[in-house]
Amino acid sequence: AQRVTQPEKLLSVFKGAPVELKCNYSYSGSPELFWYVQYSRQRLQLLLRHISRESIKGFTADLNKGETSFHLKKPFAQEEDSAMYYCALRAQGGSEKLVFGKGTKLTVNP
């Protein structure tokens, strides 16, 4: 079974500080990992996917298969980064559904 764990429900940092949102997954095969962001009163938006290896809004995430992790990082947090962040997994070659973690609410304080 596929499972995504985001150990932190809430994360609070100050503007300019580094931020890391943790995501661990459980899946025996080869996963595809995503980060979605949900700003206040807005829809979920795709932030990153691991196969793209890109940086969006200063965020990066590296898939670590040894540690089964896909942590989201940003060196200098901004107030506009405050949002709910969801890590999601899709089994490659299997069902197309995304399995989501329960999310981490990030608050960036001025």
Partner 1 sequence: DSGVTQTPKHLITATGQRVTLRCSPRSGDLSVYWYQQSLDQGLQFLIQYYNGEERAKGNILERFSAQQFPDLHSELNLSSLELGDSALYFCASSVEAGTPLHFGNGTRLTVT
Shortest Cβ 102–partner 1 spacing (Å) = 4
> In whole angstroms, how close is the CB of 4 to partner 1 at the nearest point?
9
Binding residue for partner 1, selected from 27, 34, 70, 85, defined by CB under 8 A: 34
CA atoms of 12 and 29, how far apart (whole Å) = 33
CB of 23 to partner 1, least distance (A): 13
Work out whether 99 is an interface residue with partner 1 (CB under 8 A): yes
Task: Return the number of other C-beta atoms located less than 10 Å from residue 2's C-beta.
Answer: 18
Contact positions vs partner 1 (CB under 8 A): 32, 34, 36, 42-46, 49, 86, 92, 95-103
